[in-house]
Amino acid sequence: MKIFKDRRGSVSILTLFIIPVIIAVGAMVADIGNFFCVKISAKHMLNLAVRAAAGQIDIEELSNENIVIDESAASQKFYEALEKNLRLDSNLHPLTGSIIDGPVSVAYLKIINNDELPYTYSYGSFTETITQPSVTAIIEFPVKYGMLGQVTGTGTQCTMTVHVTAGPQLIRQEIGEF
């Protein structure tokens, strides 16, 4: 049984199998890392746009100690902030340097005031109940797959969804209590 005692070349064969596995794992880690970075960045940018919209409080109503978000001003401020933060044009298409790989779709935008509370809505499998004046938004946008996604035939891109809800936060302080 001289065939089983000669093990020269077995390291070469093992190396041929291990190198593609290491490359595939590295590509998978890079793809997943890119997806997380884009999702977290997009969520932060959407959060800024929603908070800007929630800050559009009707001053007359506030003088009566009533928090009311001005819907037209809030909607306008939301789109302005979204375009600026995600580096989009007025049609919500990405400009040079944007983290987004294609046009952004505002899947849901709702300004909720006291007359609608509590407000419950669903989007896919997600359900939320809002109990204070707030702005809630859901955006969808394409994200390109990296090397692994393209090699495995999964496609060139997938759709990512990001959701944020925020409301105005007013802190009552008497003048001179800073």
pLDDT in tens, 92-107: 999 999 999 999 999 9
Give, to the nearest 10 degrees, the angle between helix 71-86 and helix 10-54.
Answer: 150
Residue 157: what pLDDT? 86
User: What is the reported pTM?
Assistant: 0.84
Tokens encoding 19: 């190198």
Strands of 14-146, DSSP E? 105-112, 119-123, 126-130, 134-144
Q: What is the CA radius of gyration of the chain?
A: 25
> How far apart (Å, rounded) are the C-alpha atoms in residues 148 and 155?
10
Instruction: Specify whether the CB–CB gap between 112 and 165 falls below 8 A.
Output: no
pLDDT in tens, the chain (178 residues): 555 566 666 778 888 889 988 888 888 888 889 899 999 999 999 999 999 999 999 989 888 888 999 999 999 999 999 999 999 999 999 999 999 999 999 999 999 999 999 999 999 999 999 999 999 999 999 998 887 776 777 778 889 999 999 999 777 777 766 5
Q: In whole angstroms, give the CA distance from residue 66 to residue 114.
A: 9
Length of the chain (residues): 178
